[in-house]
Amino acid sequence: MTALEELTLLAKQNPNPTVSAWKNKGHKIVGYWCSYIPRELVHAAGLLPYRIKGVGAEGTTRADVYMAAVCNCTYSRAILDMALNGAYNFLDGLIGMNECDHGRRAHEIWVKKIGVPFDHFLFVPHKSNDTTLREFEKELLKLKVHLESRFHTFITDENLLNSARIYNDNRALLKSLQENMKEKAPRIKGSEMHDVVIAGESIPPEQYNQLLRRLVEELENRPPLYDYRARIFIYGWTGDDSSFYKIVEDVGGLVVADNCCFGTREFWEPIHLDGDPFNSLAASYLNRPPCPRMIDGFDKRFQDVKDMITEFQVDGLLVTRQQFCDLHGVEAFFLKKREKELGVPFSAPLIQEYVGLDTGRLKTRIEAFIEQIER
């Protein structure tokens, strides 16, 4: 199998085969909900951080007893459903946080209804300044102490530095892959890149580095992609499923950049290792490319998007979100005000359902958008 094939497969398996391999070695696995939860800390405790995903969900029936189909997103309901059905029983622990109203509640219901051997809730501030950084450091310290006492380990500065370096290597390799998309004829598609990112969220980062290095090499031998109608930027929420990217590609778009959670936001900035590793970790996470959950994040996000539009020669932005997501929901309001400044057209918000995606409707709308902007 090529590295790309391996990574694509890993993205689609939940749990993936690294779980049993890890468990067979006698190691423990801790699930985490959101990319604002520093995986480095979990890894430095000798644990495998496993990003909670909805991959493999078959519906939301059991979750719908506790969450509301009228207003809670299908992503959080799908994950809760899987948990209630026992799909996450392999976890030795779970770290939740206040990422959004849906996610935090799904976590709490999960813990309340079926329990987990180790449960930690990390409060992550919604803005970044000296006060919130101090608070976040305190919160991370609580997590560290809790992990240490529950898993009988010590998270030393050295371990933490080591973990940060390993994950920084992940980020650097992903960034180099993404940068290939600046080419007029890139050698990797957006949907493939998305799968590569998803895979890395739930496998040992050392193994991920090896796969990514192989993929970088493979890329040179892949045929360049000339045949596309428009270079697309995806702005918003696409989750851990590449269907949206595939729809874009099916109608002739080439996704070359994004500002998504399982996307460039995940790897664009490394952990800046200067001074105390604990402080570096806290500061880097609070200042990472901001998700819409961050109150003060839009200006930075908009600047990042504008920079990428130029660097990746983007023709248009597809704005998308999960149904019922308020945090992503208000982004189009901000964009509308900055239409001229953005420099390229953007679509009206395309609403997705994680379970029961309306592929036909999205295809029609995306195709219409591409017709407007094609080269």
Partner 1 sequence: MTSKRDIIFKEFDFSKKPELKTDLLHTIQYAIKSAISQRDPVMQWIWQPSINAIDDMCAAAEDPTDVVLIGFNLAPEMIYAMGLKPVCPEGLSFLCPTEYLIPYIDESHKAFIPDHLCSFLSGSIGMAISNAIPKPVAIVHTSQPCDNSIAQSTALADFYGVEPYIIDSPYYDNDEAYDYFAVQIKEGFRYLEQMTGKKLDIDRFREVMARSQRAHELVHEINELKKRKPCPIPTGAILRQLSIGMYGQTGSEHLVRWLEKHLEDARERAHKGIGGQHEEKIRTAWIYAWPSFEWTIYEWLGKKYGAIPVIFQASEYFYTPKSSGDFDDLCRSLAIRILSCPMGRSSRGHLDYFVRDSAYWCKEWSIDAAIFAGHLQCKANWSVAQITKEVLMDELGVPMLSFVVDALDPRVTSTEQMLGYIEPFLEMVAENKELEKIG
Q: Which is nearer to partner 1, 191 or 347 (CB)?
A: 347
Using CA atoms, how far apart are residues 345 and 305, in angstroms rounded to an integer? 13
- Which residues 105-124 are close enough to bind partner 1 by CB under 8 A? 105-106, 108-109, 112, 121, 123
Tokens 């900035």 appear where? 269
Helix, strand, coil share of the chain (percent; to 5): 50, 10, 40
Which spans of this chain sit near ligand SF4 (rule: CB under 6 A)?
34-36, 99-100, 237, 261, 291, 293
DSSP annotation of 142: H
Q: What angle do CA 177, 179, 181 make, to 5 degrees?
A: 90
Shortest distance in whole angstroms from residue 324 CB to partner 1 = 5
Nearer to partner 1, 12 or 126 (CB): 126
Query: Under the criterion CB under 8 A, does residue 154 sit at the interface with partner 1?
Result: no
Out of 19, 82, 100, 283, the only residue in the binding site for partner 1 (CB under 8 A) is 100
The residue among 125 and 186 lying less far from ligand SF4, judged by its C-beta, is 125
β-pairing, 230-236 with 119-122?
Answer: unpaired
Is 138 one of the binding residues for partner 1 (CB under 8 A)? yes
Q: Closer to partner 1 at the Cβ: 263 or 349?
A: 349
Q: Which pair of structure tokens corresponds to residue 52?
A: 């909670």
Query: Which of residues 49, 186, 190, 349 is near partner 1 by CB under 8 A?
Result: 349
Distances (CA, A) of 36 to 48, 96, 125, 127, 314: 16, 10, 10, 12, 28
Q: Which of 206, 227, 176, 237 is nearest to 35 (CA)?
A: 237
Tokens standing for residue 279: 């402080």
The contact pattern for partner 1, residues 308-347, with x = CB under 8 A and - = no contact, is ---------------xx-xx-xx-xxxxxx----------
68 vs 145 by CB, closer to partner 1: 68
Please give the Cα distance from 136 to 134 (Å, whole number).
5
Residues near partner 1 (CB under 8 A) are 65-68, 70-72, 98, 100-102, 104-106, 108-109, 112, 121, 123, 125-127, 131-132, 135, 138, 293, 295-296, 298, 323-324, 326-327, 329-330, 332-337, 348-349
